[in-house]
């Protein structure tokens, strides 16, 4: 006997190969199921943190947590959309090949390992771009609103001083403005012209 069970050298190899392929395929399907359900759970948890992010955004801190929350939520949707798109493309390819390559492990590996990684990398880059865009837009809006507010406040104060309205603070300014100008020929700073 030459050390092979049953005398057929291909029997043992084919038995191990068939059982190992079934095990690998089962692991890949389980990994794919896990990715889909983890994405759903991540979206749910992120949605539940929206009130916390909104509450923290109302506090007078420099950053806006609602923008970070919104970026994370959009990024998770991007990951799920990209994953579903890749899964649809692979399913279309399998259907176009009349199911001949459905037994191939390459498609299972693509769906279980490649698609989640690819969708995550693409969506993460988009998420960073969205966050930078939102924060840059928010900063420019804040600068514009701040400048506009300062201009309007200055104009309102000037108008209040000129019209005599505006409370105690502007009353002193109005009193000082109603004094006749000092005599430029006099050295006495309290002297008034006239």
Per DSSP, the residues of 62-96 read: SS-HHHHHHHHHHHHHHHHHHHHHHHHHHHHHHHH
What's the domain range around 54?
11-138
Q: Is position 111 within any domain?
A: yes
Q: Is position 171 within any domain?
A: no
- Please count the structural domains in the chain: 1
Q: Is position 69 within any domain?
A: yes
Q: Is position 149 within any domain?
A: no
Q: Is position 68 within any domain?
A: yes
Compute the distance between CA of residue 83 and CA of residue 47 in angstroms, rounded to an integer: 20
Statement: residue 178 has pLDDT above 60: no
pLDDT-derived band at 45, boundaries 50, 70, 90: very high
Q: Is position 161 within any domain?
A: no
Q: Is position 100 within any domain?
A: yes
Verdict on whether the full-model pTM lies above 0.85: no
Statement: residue 159 has pLDDT above 50: yes
Q: Is position 43 within any domain?
A: yes
Q: Tens digits of per-residue pLDDT, 70-119?
A: 888 888 888 999 899 999 998 888 788 776 655 677 788 888 888 888 88
State the pLDDT at residue 51.
92
């Amino acid at each position: 006997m030459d050390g092979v069970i049953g005398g057929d050298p291909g029997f043992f190899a084919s038995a191990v190969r068939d059982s190992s392929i079934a095990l690998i395929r089962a692991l890949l399907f389980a990994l794919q199921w896990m990715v889909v359900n983890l994405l759903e759970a991540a979206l749910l948890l992120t949605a539940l943190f929206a009130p916390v992010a909104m509450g923290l955004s109302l506090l007078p801190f420099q950053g806006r947590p609602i923008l970070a929350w919104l970026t994370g939520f959009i990024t998770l949707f991007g990951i799920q959309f990209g994953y579903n798109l890749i899964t649809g493309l692979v399913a279309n390819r399998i259907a176009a090949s009349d199911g001949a390559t459905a037994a191939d492990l390459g498609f299972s590996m693509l769906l279980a390992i490649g698609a989640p990684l690819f969708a995550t990398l693409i969506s993460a880059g988009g998420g960073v771009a969205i966050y930078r865009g939102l924060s840059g837009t928010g900063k420019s809006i804040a600068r514009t609103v701040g400048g506009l507010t300062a201009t309007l406040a200055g104009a309102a104060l000037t108008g209040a001083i000129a019209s005599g309205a505006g409370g105690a603070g502007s009353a002193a300014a109005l009193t000082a403005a109603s004094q006749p100008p000092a005599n430029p020929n006099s050295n006495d700073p309290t002297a008034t012209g006239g």
